[in-house]
Structure formats: structure tokens, C-alpha cells
A and B are shown apart, each in its own frame.
Chain A
């Protein structure tokens, strides 16, 4: 597609339920990132994919969080047994590679998660 697409744009769930957030990156972009932004805060790194592999999962806050990427394209971030502190905007970004370095990041509009 023309840009990074994320769904759902808005999700309200009850504490303890599982949620899945989807990211469709820009066509041809090999790198994909998930970040989290709490209200009025900066961006917190969660996980990075290069192709289908995840060389850096260091930002996942607990084992309730997992992510996968299939076909080098779409990625899904899954949060199990959601807690109120998981409420945030989850942002996905993709980039092409520039030699050995990451290129410009392009962000989707985010998925706003509210856990009641």
C-alpha cells in the first residue's frame, strides 16, 4: 500500500482479555518496528523485525506480549491477559535498508488500546 496501515484504529477491551493488533508495512520495506506511546509520553521501543526474524525483542515489557511477522510483510502484536497499564497507542513503522543502516522510518496512524 501507499503507507503503513494499522488495525484496528481503536480497541476497547476488558482486563484479562487477549488482543491482536495488525500492521501492514509499506510494500518492499524489509524492516518493521513496534513502539508504544502512553498519553503525553515519548515512544517506547517494543520489537524490531528484519524480514520474518526478530533480532531485537528487548523492549517487550513482559511475556504477555508477543509479535510475529509472516511473509516478510504483515505483522501481528498480541497482548495476552491485558492489564490496565497496557493502555496506550501502539505504533508500527517500516523502513527500507540503506546499506548497513536503517533508513527513514514511516509510521502508521497507530492502534489506540484502552483496557477497562
Chain B
């Protein structure tokens, strides 16, 4: 099945810093989503982005489907950005399931 790799696995930042999270995938996709899991375990959908670029406030994401990667940018990070970020993909021609990466733990210190 399709493989999803996220990097870096962990990241510690000072408040106000910027960061880039990367998601590589092994096959063509027709679905890609980024999620944030807060320290209480709730998963929030950040972006539905199988291709192209989207922005939402301090967050933006870019997916280059032909090169099989996606990037999530966090600018001017805040302590509330802490948590685990997951990338999830749906394989082109596959079932409708989304395969999740192992996640990236972000800690933003005040």
C-alpha cells in the first residue's frame, strides 16, 4: 500500500518562530489532508489539499502531487500550535481510506 513519511518527527520552537513540516508519499494520490491533534487528543482538519496551495491565517500548505510531497507552513508560531501534526493521503485508484503518517510532534515554548 501507499507509504507516508513525515519529517521532522519532532520539533521544538520558541514562540514567534516559523516552521515547515514535510510529507512524502510513495504513490499518486487523489486526496491529501493535514490534521492537528491537540494535547487533549482532538483531531482538527487543517487543510484538504490534494494539489495546489491554500492559506488559512498563519498556516499555509502546498502539495506538489507530481513530485509526491506536501508542505505545511506555520508562521509566527504560538503556544496553542503545540501538538501533533498528521498528514493523510488517499491513493489514486485505491479505496477511499486515508493512510496516515506517523505524525510530527511540535512544541512551542513561550
Binding site for B on A (CB under 8 A): 31, 33, 35, 41-45, 48, 50, 55-56, 58-59, 89, 91, 93, 100-107, 109-110
Contact = CB atoms under 8 A, between A and B. Distances in A.
A55 B42 contact: no
A85 B22 CA distance: 31
Contacts of B45: 104-107
A56 B30 contact: no
Contacts of A101: 30-31, 50, 90
Given A42-B103, A56-B96, A105-B33, 14 more contacts: A33-B97, A35-B100, A45-B99, A48-B97, A56-B95, A58-B95, A59-B97, A101-B31, A102-B31, A105-B35, A105-B45, A105-B88, A107-B44, A109-B41
Interface of B: 30-31, 33, 35, 41-45, 48, 50, 86, 88, 90, 95-103
Contact of A104 (B33, B41, B86, B96): B33
Contacts of B99: 45
Contacts of A44: 100
Secondary structure of the A contact surface, majority rule: strand
A59 B97 CA distance: 10
Contacts, number: 60
24 contacts: A31-B96, A33-B98, A42-B86, A42-B100, A43-B100, A45-B97, A45-B98, A45-B100, A48-B95, A48-B97, A55-B95, A56-B95, A56-B96, A56-B97, A93-B43, A101-B50, A102-B96, A102-B98, A103-B48, A105-B88, A105-B98, A107-B45, A109-B42, A110-B41
B54 to A, nearest CB: 12
Nearest to A35: B100
B98 A107 contact: no
Interface centre among A55, A104, A110 (most CB of B within 10 A): A104
